[in-house]
Amino acid sequence: MTFDKRKIVLISAVSLATLASVVAIVPPRPDGAGASRGLFAARTPETPKPASLVSSNANEVRLAEAVDTVATAGTKAVETVEANAVAPAVAESAAQQNRALKDGLNWTFGGKPQRGWAIYVPLIQRLIGTEDDAASAGFAASVARWQKRVGLAASGVLDEATLMRMISTWQARRRKGSTYPRPDELLTVPAAEFWDSSRADDLRQVERQTYAAYKRMLAAAVADSSVQLASRNGELAASEKYLKIISAFRSREYQDRLRKLEPNAGRGALAVNSPHFTGRALDLYVGGEPTITKDSNRALQTQTRAYRWLVRHAERFGFCPYFYEPWHWEYCAP
């Protein structure tokens, strides 16, 4: 009796193990509905379907990220198909057009005519995942891959529609709303950490988490010798201007005062609902005239080592850029 019982138990265990291994080898069916489809999509050597994935513009960013996830999941086939988004000859001709559009494309932003997209090249390179020169065939091929991902025609030409889509992607990542901080959510930063060390106490307030993230980011920038920041004991040297805070929390009263003092000031200063109300927006010194939107000034700023470092690394510390103002960074972590 005891022997029989043991035998039954043994047989059952073997059958269960066999069943388990059979289940493990049989792949999910390609036509499987619902939950198994996602799993299959990740395994199959098939391109994600950008057209169906990005049918809705409103969901553009989330969907592009979904495609990114699939693309980085390790499926070599996806990379191969994406690399062939445009043929070499097409990429070369797109590069020629990009060479002209870089400084010549006419578009508008905030009701103001704009020319070219050269100023935004570092952000564009970051977005489309390339370090290739904006006039190169490699850059055009990366533009085409990105266009394909977001459901645009994969021409490799950085035309107005593509630029607009890039801008809406950047803008969608910024802080939503402008909640006014409670007094205990703000702290006053030492004067020496400001670009203008004579700035008044009430103008040196920053939201606490934002400040902590800024300090972590600053330490990383100082430690990175390629940025060439002057430092002392791992901290930014007093003499160093780059990456110091120009402006952070701005109260409604202060913003009103600015408006009265400079009736012709730029859009940023006039903003009735500025992200600076949150204490989570930082204007950082990235070169040139600190916060002047003139094209020549912004072109200079976006060439500096400090700015380029921010474009590559700020996201890691929770900061996202405002594409139009190289100095303006917002703490976007929840």
Least separation in angstroms between CB 248 and Zn ion: 9
Q: Which residues are registered as beta bridge partners of 157?
A: none
C-beta of residue 64 within 8 angstroms of C-beta of residue 82: no
Nearest-CB residue for Zn ion? 328
Q: Which residues contact 296 (CB under 8 A, 6 or more apart)?
A: none
82 burial (CB, 10 Å; 0-12 / 13-18 / 19+) is: buried
- Classified as helix, coil or strand, 234 is coil
Distance of alpha carbon 114 from alpha carbon 137, whole angstroms: 25
Closest separation between CB of residue 330 and Zn ion, Å? 8
Distance CA 256, CA 234 (A): 38
Residue 252, helix vs strand vs coil: helix
Q: Give the nearer residue to Zn ion in terms of CB position, either 154 or 246.
A: 246
65 versus 262: smaller Cβ distance to Zn ion: 262
Query: Contact residues for Zn ion (CB under 5 A)?
Result: 283, 328
Minimal distance, residue 321 CB to Zn ion, in Å: 11
Q: Please, which residue, 59 or 109, has the CB nearer to Zn ion?
A: 109
What's the Rg (C-alpha) of the chain? 26
Least distance in angstroms from the C-beta of 99 to Zn ion: 32
Nearest approach in angstroms of CB 136 to Zn ion is: 33
Q: How far is the CB of 276 from Zn ion (least distance, A)?
A: 6
Tell me whether residue 139 or residue 322 sits nearer to Zn ion (CB atom). 322
Helix (H) or strand (E) holding 63: helix 60-71
DSSP SS3 for 236? strand
Instruction: Fill in the DSSP letter of residue 194.
Output: B
Instruction: Report the residue number, 165 or 173, with the smaller CB distance to Zn ion.
Output: 173
Q: Do the beta carbons of residue 147 and residue 156 sit within 8 Å? A: yes
**Residue 79 CB, nearest approach to Zn ion (Å):** 38
CB closer to Zn ion, 139 vs 331: 331
Which run of H or of E encompasses 286?
A: none
Q: What angle do CA 259, 262, 263 make, to 5 degrees?
A: 70
Toward Zn ion, which CB reaches closer, 159 or 283? 283
